[in-house]
Structures are given as structure tokens and as C-alpha cells.
Amino acid sequence: MESVVAVKGLNVWFGHAQVLSGVDIEFRQGELTALIGPSGSGKTTLLRAVNRMNDVFSGVRTEGEVALSVNGATVDAYGDRCDVARLRRTAGMVFQTPNVLPTSIRQNFTVPLRHVLGLKKSELDSRIEAALREVELWDEVKERLGAQAQTLSGGQQQRLCLARALSLEPSVLLLDEPTASLDFRATRRIEHLIVRLKESYPILAVSHSLGQTSRIADRAYVLNSGCVVETLDRHDLREPELLHRLAEDLF
């Protein structure tokens, strides 16, 4: 299966500290690829390197290649001609803690849709409904789109953030521990949703849980001290002894 995103020889420094060293990974259409490893191993830095979100921090330096295959064309994320705003639409990101805007549910969509895509009012309602249906949230909020987004539960807020990313029509999804702040029930619902979404979007996800990775991932890269130390396929991720070894060695 062809790679949708290929990362080759990636090195990232924050100031004088090298956080990633010579990282090579890929993720593919129809698959969920997980990044796992101990805290501080570079997982989130690697995820954010795909759409250049690390650039928002001062003192960051990145070397290497991140190539995205989009609509038959290859986008070089760190090339001189890269449109970073477009790149971040192409690789939509959902963060660890739900980052809803302090406004209504509807405006959580209308603000980015107008600012980023320039959509007119007549186009907004159908786009919002479609995105909310895709994350199974429409029936829960359709009668209160004018309510503050912060009145939603944690799980609903995370699904809202996912819907907001999907409304911008990304080609790939980047998820940074999307269930870390949720309870068991909300976590399982998000997992179920992610498994369904990977049929439409290649997904790269940082996971804090080996158990979760074994349930939802098709491939996993194990990071330690900024390097990929192991690559696991579906079969590996269903092997209790291997997962037990990883838990003892790395977590």
C-alpha cells in the first residue's frame, strides 16, 4: 500500500537540545499508525513536525524530509514553496486537551470556515451538519448550536474538535493523545469513532496507552530518546508477550 506521508531522516532541535534524531516513518491510506514510547521520547514533536506546528515555538530547527501525497501530487512540507497554512489544512490536527473556542458550537465552525476557506453563510450550515454527523455528534447538539461549546462534556468537546478539523476537509489526520483527558466511556467512544474514520483518512496518532494501541492501530512506531527503536505491525500489536516486554522496557 502506498504511503500518504513519508518522513525521512527527520531531525528536530529545540535550541541546542536535539529532540528527534534520524527518524524514518510512513503512514498509509486506510490505516491508523500509532506513535508510542515513554514521556519525553519525542512522540508529539514528531507528530507536530508533519504539519510544521513545531514552527510556532521559537528556537526550533528542523532538518529532513516530510512528503505528503495529496490528490496525486507530492507536497514537500519543508520545501521553499510550501504554503504552511494549506499544509495545516491538509494535515488536520486534534490536540490532547479539547481546545474549543470560547464561543458557541456553531461559531466554532464558522470562524475557521470563513477565515480559512472563505465560505459564505449559505455554505456553512450543510458543512457544519456533515462534520457533526461524521463524528456522531449532530443528534446531540442540533437543537443547541447557539449554546457555548464549553457547556459540552469532555468527550463531546473532543468530538467537536475532531468535527471542526474534518470540516476543513483534510487529507490526513494527526491526533495527539486524543483520549488522554477523557473517562473510560468517552475514551471508548472516541476509539470507536477513530477506527471508523481511518477508512476515510490515514491517521497518525500519539497514544499514551499500549492497550489502546493494540485495539485501534494497524502499525506502531516505538520511540525512545528521539529515535525509532522498533516498528510493530498488526500481528505484533496483538501479541501479549511483546506488549508486556514493551511495557516493562519503556513505560
Query: 2 falls in which pLDDT band (50, 70, 90)?
Result: confident
Nearest-angstrom CA–CA distance, 77 and 130: 29
* pLDDT reading at 89 higher than 70: yes
Dist. CA 162–CA 159, nearest whole Å? 5
pLDDT digits (tens, 9 = 90+) for 155-173: 999 999 999 999 999 999 9
Alpha-helical (H) ranges within the chain are 43-50, 84-90, 107-116, 121-134, 138-141, 154-167, 184-197, 210-216, 234-237, 240-250
At 6, give phi and psi (nearest 5°): -125, 125
Question: Domain limits at 46?
Answer: 3-250
Domain count, the chain: 1
Tell me the pLDDT band of 212, cut-offs 50, 70 and 90. very high
Map residue 213 onto helix, strand or coil: helix
Q: What is the CATH number of the domain that holds 137?
A: 3.40.50.300
User: What is the reported pLDDT for 1?
Assistant: 64
